[in-house]
Structure 1
């Protein structure tokens, strides 16, 4: 991904660069295969779903390996970015969601599912998408513990404000904690240990270099697992909540523009601005899905509503990895004005 992975990599540097340039094609093939598998063999969904957390953990591990930990420590001290990310996710997003919620069906299960996913910022593959768009993945990584903690505290408050105390009281925080440990903390700790090993051992450096080609294929595998495991759940109730799709698309369009405005107002560089865009638009669907599944029977549609957001978002993220660096937050020219990246 970033930089030269060196002669010890499993793939030559030019192959890795070609893989990165063709990442959208890789993701397209992964999604097409997933749709084919889900439609022809829907019974495979349960088996494939069991691989979701392990696949996400590997994806985050190979992504974290690309982040020098000295940069990660520096990122924790960037109060401007941290404040902007928190403000967008927990002040601006709830306002946007409240407006969009007026266009949702009146079914409480649909409303709760949409609110669960739209009010919670992503803590996992947002890092990978930010990196693929040449954004500051270190900043996103440094923000994840805060985003996790604040959404855990504020989600019941927002649900209470939007739909009343009854729903807020049945949401269990357990899946949030489990996801943070298995998907964020463990891969991050393993990446730190790998970096420590690589600095002191030739075999460690070889291992780290060999992992350099994996982020793009692993994101393709993640897309395959997510779509294959969740598409049957969506298809079974598609006629009842198709109205949420335009709301999700509107969110995907609105938040990048708001983040771009904030990044410009704060005079952020391109890397920070792109990171702010992705952290404001990407939602925590894979973590809140267990919360939706744990809701009472009268909210049986909520998981399908959450999964629908996942599918809409994944398509949007693949597009945004190109749109954000090329048009929305391009690199600045040396004399100040922005110019489009290739």
Structure 2
């Protein structure tokens, strides 16, 4: 019997933990399998994004995209505030280009995939966030080379090949988004389409686990002798997880967003594009072999942080707005 979507979501952290442990075991025991796992990264990511986009009702997509205040907050935080925070936090890192470029790549690119289910778990406005993903992706495509040039100089900016990012957009965003829309259209017209959509509903968590498996198993053998150097970025990633939710909460208050939008703004400000930016890190020239591992390390730190934030954000940082007590309620209680 196929487990229900709700059951899978309740046990998602266990799924991710098993995937990580299995990936570490494979990476250490079978390092020769790394190239095979690396070839699986793009197709597995594409399926993950397809089933993620299926969660969004496209009929309300246009209305969500026209929310100017939320869009201004999401774009302003990710492309004006985050670069300032990232530059400040990375001043404590060893000034090794391979560490810096990996950290900058991942921290300067907002997440457009698993941020959506995590936002939903915290009762945030996942529709609003999904509506913002095309703009978030296009702007990071355009701005990342400029940020790398600003923070690291022209040499590293010239080393970044835009082709992997263009490929990521077509294969990991445009194609899954189009297929998800076609699936939803089919579900409105036939019972077969509805059954297919329902069957896909339980896949986001398993596919996230599969993504972690192939990414870690493919990269661990490359870097196991350099774990000490890579670990230097962990405090920066942890600090980012602490600082940005607070900044996001302040921004949501200034923009007077409602509770769901505020939670979504917090999550888009803190979650990063580690899995989608990985092909770009893999395309860096010789001398930057550790950069993909620096990117993947952020994924592991962030997933741990998400376990905490999905509870802290609705319970404390952006709690439900209390309903005002009317005079009628007072009279009835008396």
Backbone CA RMSD of aligned residues: 2.0
The CA deviation at 1:11 is 4.5
Question: Which of 84, 87, 91 matches 2:73?
Answer: 84
Question: Which of 78, 88, 98 matches 1:99?
Answer: 88
Distance 2:131 2:219 in 1: 29
Does 2:249 correspond to 1:254?
no
Does 2:150 correspond to 1:161?
yes
Partner SS, residue 31 of structure 1: helix
Q: Tell me, yes or no, if the aligned pair for 2:47 and 2:207 is still in contact at 8 Å.
A: yes
Compared CA separation, residues 232 and 194, structure 1 to 2 (3 A): same
Question: Which of 273, 279, 284 matches 2:262?
Answer: 273
Compared CA separation, residues 161 and 70, structure 1 to 2 (3 A): same
Compared CA separation, residues 296 and 71, structure 1 to 2 (3 A): same
Distance 1:135 1:271 in 2: 4
Q: Tell me, yes or no, if the aligned pair for 2:223 and 2:290 is still in contact at 8 Å.
A: no
Give TM-score, length-normalised by structure 1: 0.88
Counting only pairs closer than 5 Å after superposition, residues 68-217 of structure 1 correspond to structure 2 as 68-217=57-206
Question: Which of 45, 63, 72 matches 2:34?
Answer: 45
Partner SS, residue 300 of structure 1: coil
Compared CA separation, residues 274 and 208, structure 1 to 2 (3 A): same
Compared CA separation, residues 232 and 312, structure 1 to 2 (3 A): farther
Note the alpha carbon deviations across 1:10-52, whole angstroms, 9 max, x for none: 747xx43233222222222222222222232232222222222
Q: Tell me, yes or no, if the aligned pair for 1:198 and 1:205 is still in contact at 8 Å.
A: yes
The CA deviation at 1:134 is 2.7
Distance 1:320 1:282 in 2: 11
Partner of 1:316: 305
Partner SS, residue 72 of structure 1: helix
Q: Tell me, yes or no, if the aligned pair for 2:54 and 2:184 is still in contact at 8 Å.
A: yes
Distance 1:209 1:331 in 2: 30
Compared CA separation, residues 81 and 176, structure 1 to 2 (3 A): same
Distance 1:118 1:324 in 2: 20
Note the alpha carbon deviations across 1:263-282, whole angstroms, 9 max, x for none: 12222223212211221112
Q: Tell me, yes or no, if the aligned pair for 2:164 and 2:283 is still in contact at 8 Å.
A: no
Partner SS, residue 106 of structure 1: coil
Compared CA separation, residues 203 and 79, structure 1 to 2 (3 A): same
Note the alpha carbon deviations across 1:293-329, whole angstroms, 9 max, x for none: 3323233332332222222223223333333233322
Partner of 1:227: 216
Q: Tell me, yes or no, if the aligned pair for 1:60 and 1:128 is still in contact at 8 Å.
A: no
Q: Which runs of 4+ in 1 moved over 4 A?
A: none
Question: Which of 320, 323, 331 matches 1:331?
Answer: 320
Note the alpha carbon deviations across 1:141-166, whole angstroms, 9 max, x for none: 21111112211222122122211122
Distance 1:281 1:296 in 2: 29
Compared CA separation, residues 46 and 94, structure 1 to 2 (3 A): same
Q: Tell me, yes or no, if the aligned pair for 2:56 and 2:130 is still in contact at 8 Å.
A: no
Distance 1:134 1:27 in 2: 21
Question: Which of 239, 245, 255 matches 2:234?
Answer: 245
More helix by share: 2
Distance 1:95 1:315 in 2: 24
Moved more, 69-78 or 269-278: 269-278
Q: Tell me, yes or no, if the aligned pair for 2:52 and 2:114 is still in contact at 8 Å.
A: no
Compared CA separation, residues 42 and 68, structure 1 to 2 (3 A): same
Give TM-score, length-normalised by structure 2: 0.90
Q: Tell me, yes or no, if the aligned pair for 1:175 and 1:290 is still in contact at 8 Å.
A: yes
Does 2:252 correspond to 1:263?
yes
